[in-house]
Amino acid sequence: MNAKLTPRDLLDRLVSFPTVSRDTNLPLMDFVEEYLDGYGVKAHRVYDATGQKCNLYAHVGPEVEGGVVLSGHTDVVPIDGQDWHTDPFTVVEKDGKLFGRGTTDMKGFDALALAAVPLALERGIKRPLQLALSYDEEVGCIGAPFMIDEMKTTLPRASAVIVGEPTGMQTVTGHKGTTGLDVTVHGFEVHSSLLHTGVSAIMIAAQLVEWCRQQTAANMAREPDPVAAIFEPPFTSLHVGVMNGGTAHNITAKTCRFTVDIREVPTESPAEWVAKFRAEAARLEAEARKIRPEARIEISQYSASPGLRPEDDPTAEPLVRQLTGDNGTHVVSYGTEAGQFQERGYSTAICGPGDIAMAHQPNEYITVDQFQKGEAFMHRLIDHLVES
């Protein structure tokens, strides 16, 4: 059995692993697996295609349905170019704050979830506690779906999932979906004085960007449905944040690359928006090929995270409200893995310590008060699983 680590001990250890999304998270997962094994809890890994990253899930307590999943991601965003006043991968306490990369987003919650394991075993929970730790959440919620699909087939079905993104310990029941598209337009270079004989990739890309603007404007003008109305803004938006192409002012651009960020309200289908964009791209491509058959438009989807919508008959929401005492209506604009659990049939809510405004920032921190409130939440959750 482990020498018992406190939640703060666990936070220190987790932050010490520099699990930036571009790098491996396996050393952190090795630590987690060894920690769980010390309590007789078996961990299961689900690797990515490279074998350099993995998800990890575990089941604590009786082999019965009706448990609770605590879900968190293990990756963090880079520190490149940020002005840190302390070592980002060492937790430093100062003025009631715990500084370090991932303290808020979201190794603080991960540490609290791990600390709940020995407490659950000591108390003799009657319904299980399940842990779900993912990779590559920060680059598009890529890893979690593979883990969730496996959990559905190998573990007793949980009745609630709590995704511990930072909400200030409020009960969040909705967020928008996020879809990312990488678009490359291939044209044909000619001197701009003969532009009618060539195909400008930039000019075609500009038409697609304008199409995105028009769709957003049309969405904004419509009356939002009741679910969309609770979001700010209350409509699906399409945004182009990066664009580059061309070689000279007097040459039709051979290539142009840009990205599209679609933020869908939960009542709209991400797949349908992608299909609409592809259809418009196909129309423009057909026109361009009448001039030069080499012209084409490549579209790849680099992220797809469905929205989370308030549930008609929830089990996660009332549980989290019971544990927090929060009866307010809260939705967030950022994406999480909650929608991926929900679309696979799990009742899901979001609740975790910390302030999302501190996520991804230099000198990221979680307050000691928020961390302690998260710890108290875990104790109440264990009480609930004991009394069930």
> Active site includes 383?
no
HSE, side-chain direction, 13 A CA sphere, residue 326 = 21
Q: Which of 33, 75, 317, 337 is catalytic?
A: 75
The full DSSP string for 240-255 is EEEEEE-S-TTB--SE
Cα R_g (the chain), whole angstroms: 23
Edge-to-edge strands of the sheet including 97-99?
92-94, 97-99, 365-367
* Contact (CB, 8 A) for 303 and 179: yes
> Active site includes 75?
yes
* Contact (CB, 8 A) for 238 and 261: yes
* Contact (CB, 8 A) for 171 and 326: yes
HSE, side-chain direction, 13 A CA sphere, residue 42 = 4
For the beta carbon of residue 300, count every other beta carbon within 10 angstroms. Answer: 9
Edge-to-edge strands of the sheet including 54-60?
43-47, 54-60, 129-134, 68-73, 160-163, 348-350, 172-175, 330-332
* Contact (CB, 8 A) for 14 and 25: no
Q: Which of 137, 189, 337, 364 is catalytic?
A: 137
HSE, side-chain direction, 13 A CA sphere, residue 130 = 30
**Annotated catalytic sites, by residue?**
75, 137
